[in-house]
Chain A
């Protein structure tokens, strides 16, 4: 049974710092891995999708990597800004469903 874990559960850093969020999964048989952000009380915004045979994807200040063999993905946020404050969730696509981590709540202090 696929399980997804995100570490840390919460993170508070000063503005401008680079930071790394971690996601691990137990079964490497995935179609892809997707990172989302969720603002309080809102839906989910897709940030990056990494397909199963890809190693990384970049969008602006965000870079996500995928190592299927070790069951790990990282989301790197460069030069963090207060607007980056949100909960970040990773999800693995397995058999027509997304299986979710519990998320990392990120607070960027001005």
Chain B
């Protein structure tokens, strides 16, 4: 079974440009979430999608946006790039099901990430 696939793996962009990152979840997973990881701030939540609907959004400016398609693949877009947007962007997918004892299982599986460098 294929894992979470993120493309591209590495990206170099210039300030002011925009970028689109892609995430293909594990087959059957309908929840996709995005995280930004930097040395200074650690891992921070960007947004989460389930069946094409954004259910939650982190505290990031409007330059950061995302969407999810009917096949659960997701994209995130960053417009007007700033130097501070340089980071590892990680995508996670989750099946979300009620298992034994009606416990909600939301185990997240991560891709290898996209390393974005803004120069």
Contacts and interface: CB of A to CB of B under 8 A. Distances in A.
A46 interface: yes
Interface stretch (A15-23, A50-58, A62-70): A50-58
B8 interface: no
Chain A residues touching B, range: 20 to 34
Interface residues of B, number: 29
A29 interface: no
Given A93-B108, A97-B58, 14 more contacts: A31-B104, A32-B106, A42-B113, A43-B6, A43-B110, A51-B104, A51-B105, A52-B104, A89-B43, A96-B48, A96-B50, A97-B48, A98-B108, A100-B44
B108 A46 contact: yes
Contact of A46 (B107, B112, B115): B107
A43 B111 contact: yes
Interface string B19-36: 000000000000101010
A51 B108 CA distance: 12
A28 interface: no
B105 A49 contact: yes
A44 interface: yes
Interface of A: 31-32, 34, 36, 41-46, 49, 51-54, 89, 91, 93, 95-100, 102-103
A10 B31 CA distance: 32
A95 B115 CA distance: 27
Contacts of A42: 112-113
A100 B55 contact: no
Contact of A97 (B56, B111, B112): B56
Contact of B107 (A43, A45, A49, A95): A49
Contact of B45 (A49, A89, A99, A103): A99
Interface in B56-70: 56, 58
Contact of B103 (A53, A91, A97): A53
B48 A51 contact: no
Contacts of A93: 106, 108
